[in-house]
Amino acid sequence: MSVQTAPGEAGPDPTEATGEPVLDDSARDDDAARDAARVARLQRRLRRLADVAIGLALVVLAGVGALRWLDSTAYVVVVLQTAGPFVAIGLGLLAVATLLLRRWWMLVPVVVALAVAAGIAAPAFFASSQPKADRDLTVMSANVWAGRANASQLMDAVRYHSVDVLVVLEATPAMMRRLDASGAGDYFTAREGLARADTFTGTMVLSRYPLSVRSLATDPAVEGTPSVQPELDVTVPNGSVRLKVAHPMAPLRGDTDEWRAGLRSLQTWKQRLDGDELLVLAGDFNASFAHPGFRELASGLADAQTTDGQGWVRTWPFAGNRLPPVVQIDHVLSRGLTLVSAGQVAFNGTDHAAVWASYSLPPR
């Protein structure tokens, strides 16, 4: 039954049925406006927070990347300089995050930094080797970790890649005996160098071609390193190649000045050479292209892995480490030779991968 209201009488209070006040349209609009304002303020805070986070990440990544141009012996700098690939990966991820967050004005500096990093890395991914050329000389450099490496696996790699010259870094008499027992004595016909027991300073060069010693390079005052760095001529059927072994000190904490001195000594040696002489400079440089000292040394020379377009090559550290290898510090550099192919081989008992390169000599 409906309730009739007499003229002049007040109608029933709407709150009697619901127990809540009924808002008019203007009150509802005010509440909606306040809610919208709160959401807008929150969104502005989140956008500012995103900008700050992106900016900080960009500054850190760009700062670490810029260290590649700082020729320093500060231990932290030397270590961080090897992080270049991680900087490029980080900038790529940062660009994606900035794009997804639609922070357009922050995207510009991120993309610029990424373009610089990509420009630095890109040449290593484009090959200029000549795989159809004749193989006249194959050189392999292997750091055997003070004689602890697996000699049998190393000789398997030597035979598989038809290595003509094997540079054995950190060679010990016991390691050389194990190599001979694994077939090195029959495979190679010549050897020069000096193996040293209980140390990382020994170096031996084994060859299927005749070797002529120019210098065993055993004077640390001249070489800038206690390691033996022999300099020899390798006589192949269609020419002669000058071979120099490189093994500067590792840039450990407290040894970075000696490390830089070793690279500088190799640079001085290179500057004394005849510019037309065929040359191979191979070994454990304890440095990468991220280090200005190594780039200076490698200037005018061709790195085998880079020439072969192998990209991010990693030769250290391997054995007994939880982290995967992150940096290439073992190199085969050359001048006047045509690279046919190149690669690296991991084997047990050492923290380095061996690197190798096959070359074609110019016509006589």
Write the single-letter amino acid at 275: G
- Using alpha carbons, list the distances in angstroms from residue 62 to 58, 107, 312: 6, 14, 19
Asked if the model's pLDDT at residue 330 lies above 70, the reply is yes
> Is-contact 260 191, C-beta < 8 A?
no
| % of the chain with per-residue pLDDT over 90 | 83
Asked if the model's pLDDT at residue 19 lies above 60, the reply is no
> Is-contact 134 338, C-beta < 8 A?
no
pLDDT for 301-317, tens place per residue?
999 999 999 999 999 99
The residues, ordered by sequence, that sit 6+ positions from 128 with a Cβ below 8 Å of its Cβ are 307, 309, 339
The partner residues of 316 in beta bridges, in order of sequence, read 327
At 1, the pLDDT band (50, 70, 90 cuts) reads very low
Q: φ, ψ for residue 360 (rounded to 5)?
A: -110, 130
Closest CA to 190 of 171, 204, 202, 177: 204
- Per-residue pLDDT, 320: 65
Asked if the model's pLDDT at residue 9 lies above 90, the reply is no
At 276, the pLDDT band (50, 70, 90 cuts) reads confident
Mean pLDDT along residues 225-237: 98
> Is-contact 356 345, C-beta < 8 A?
yes
pLDDT for 241-255, tens place per residue?
999 999 999 999 999
Asked if the model's pLDDT at residue 6 lies above 80, the reply is no
Output b/e per residue, 222-243; b: 16+ Cβ within 10 A: ebbbbbbbbbbbbebeebebbb
Mutual angle of helices 104-121 and 84-100, in 10-degree steps: 150
How far is the C-alpha of 94 from the C-alpha of 89, rounded, in Å? Answer: 9
> Is-contact 215 205, C-beta < 8 A?
no
